[in-house]
A = this chain, B = another copy of it.
């Protein structure tokens, strides 16, 4: 039906492709198809996209990093740029590496710059698609045309790819599927001329059972595996997909997810479910976390287990709702009135979203305490490929325990961690417990005794001290000693590890660590730091009035160690490796 390209392919280990157009063009779906294909063909992948914050759309990109080896960032520079419009061309040419290939639509892009050895390849997506599908479907099939084009260029597994496409479009209608395939085939067959084609070198053997998905989806799977069956939330970008998926999935498990009237109601309903004996989850993004502050202080005081997810975005206020930032860390720890102990965790990549959800469930229950998970916009939407989690191994049964409690039951014993007796539990002593946000004695009765307040404050703090001691130090990437330890948290893991590789390959004694237990910090972290000459904390938040970011503040306060330095930015874009490398080099060079 169409002829495959004939030139001999060049072998590659990595390719970074940036698609730049408008959000209506379906660029995200081309990206998604390629990412899913990568997961199925033993390639690693990481994606990155921008979404305009208005609905009517606007410029949008999808960047895709495919590799035979481990891929840890969406790529600093792209090898190929596909430019749909003049504005796409103008804004993204600088992201193309010297000598890279720019495929552009000559129907739209009229003014070209010749610079840095860039190879320009005109491909009339628009008119070629119209030709392939027929006059009426203008704009609609362009993305499939480009997908076909890239499939041919990179010698991708055409059969698997068409299978993925068919599964997606098959849900809609046959007509749509036929048109999509027509456009795809036209792109596949389009003669791009002398830029040739590429194929991927055989990489390290990647695990057999690989899946690819985004962080929000995987976090939801983690929650389900952890035994979460109830909760409530209010929509907000980029948190919403988790609540939408929970709402859709939970009925299958006999659970209920409630869309509340606002975030205050959402956290209250979730605390209600926790009080009722369940493991429950609420979540939001920045502004919504602020609205939950009062109730979270309650959960700390009443010592109720609870998972709260905050998918961070650019702030303050409504800020940059579709950009990535890590500026809610201090709020997560200290954002409620009073001394309100809670646990704060951060997943380091998409795969980790699953395990962090499990860890959150475990800690919430073990320490009878709210646990906040700080994800972020980048993790929420980017697609990665990784080993399929072993559900059999990690499965947790939902916890509801209403077996009768003995006569000496106290909800708030001073000498033990709180364990509540939920409604429905028969109290053999005949005395029923009360859960409260007033300071209280061991039975939950309000007390304004100075001694009780001091002891109960100690009790609530002590469980976090215990946890800190129980936590292992975070993993070190590289050697356990050296000149510089780069410390990160959350989505910066990839660029930081690439930085370590690059600097080590240049002979520097650099290692890194990604902190997943952000509060409390593992007790041994000071020892770990002491084996390095310098420590550089890299994070995506403001450098602060005193010159350091939020995690850096926590570490400096804990260790009172002036060797801890800080590198921050707040431009809403993921770290480029070269930015981190430059900061690390500066720190290495300084006294």
Residues of A within 8 A of B (CB): 50, 52-53, 264, 286-287, 289-291, 293-294, 297-298, 300-302, 314-323, 325, 327-328, 330-331, 334-341, 436-439, 446, 448, 450-451, 453-454, 457, 461, 464-465, 468, 519-521, 541-546, 548, 553-554, 556-562, 564, 569-573
Contacts and interface: CB of A to CB of B under 8 A. Distances in A.
Contact of A543 (B52, B320, B461): B461
A467 to B, nearest CB: 9
Contacts of A572: 448, 450, 453
A421 B331 CA distance: 32
Contacts of A545: 341, 461, 464-465, 468, 519-520
Contact of A438 (B293, B318, B519, B554): B318
B319 A438 contact: yes
A553 to B, nearest CB: 5
A310 to B, nearest CB: 8
A554 B564 CA distance: 15
Given A315-B338, A450-B572, A561-B562, 20 more contacts: A50-B448, A52-B448, A286-B297, A293-B293, A300-B316, A301-B317, A315-B339, A316-B337, A316-B437, A319-B439, A322-B448, A323-B450, A331-B334, A331-B336, A334-B334, A335-B337, A341-B545, A464-B545, A559-B560, A560-B564
A571 B456 CA distance: 10
A453 B294 CA distance: 29
A338 B301 contact: no
Contact of A320 (B294, B334, B453, B519): B453
A562 B546 CA distance: 17
A65 to B, nearest CB: 20
A115 to B, nearest CB: 21
Interface hub of A264, A302, A328, A340 (most chain B Cβ within 10 A) = A340
Contacts of A519: 545
Q: Copy number of this protein in the oligomer? A: 2
A546 B519 CA distance: 11
B570 A453 contact: yes
B438 A544 contact: no
Contacts of A290: 293-294, 297, 335-337
Contacts of A448: 50, 52-53, 320, 322-323, 572
A216 to B, nearest CB: 19
B557 A450 contact: no
A464 B286 CA distance: 22
A323 B560 contact: no
16 contacts: A50-B448, A53-B446, A290-B335, A291-B291, A297-B315, A301-B317, A322-B448, A330-B330, A331-B334, A331-B336, A339-B542, A450-B573, A453-B570, A461-B545, A556-B556, A559-B560
Contact of A337 (B331, B437, B554, B571): B331
A337 B341 contact: no
A547 to B, nearest CB: 9
B317 A437 contact: yes
A571 B454 contact: yes
Which 7 pairs show the lowest CB-CB distances between chains A and B?
Answer: A315-B338, A316-B338, A317-B437, A286-B337, A450-B571, A316-B340, A339-B542
A546 B461 CA distance: 10
Contacts of A331: 293, 334-337
Contacts of A336: 290, 316, 331, 335
Nearest to A328: B337
Contacts of A446: 53
Nearest to A312: B337
Nearest to A455: B571
A572 B520 CA distance: 25
Contacts of A330: 330, 334
A316 B334 CA distance: 11
B334 A317 contact: no
A289 B328 contact: no
A57 to B, nearest CB: 13
Interface hub of A300, A546, A559 (most chain B Cβ within 10 A) = A546
Nearest to A563: B560
A570 B290 CA distance: 25
Contact of A437 (B319, B520, B548): B319
A173 B493 CA distance: 75
Given A331-B334, A437-B319, A468-B545, A287 B291 contact: no
A290 B546 CA distance: 25
A39 B564 CA distance: 52
A453 B571 CA distance: 6
A557 B553 contact: yes
A446 B317 CA distance: 13
Contacts of A541: 339
A151 B401 CA distance: 63
Contact of A338 (B325, B334, B340, B521): B325
Contacts of A291: 264, 291, 293-294
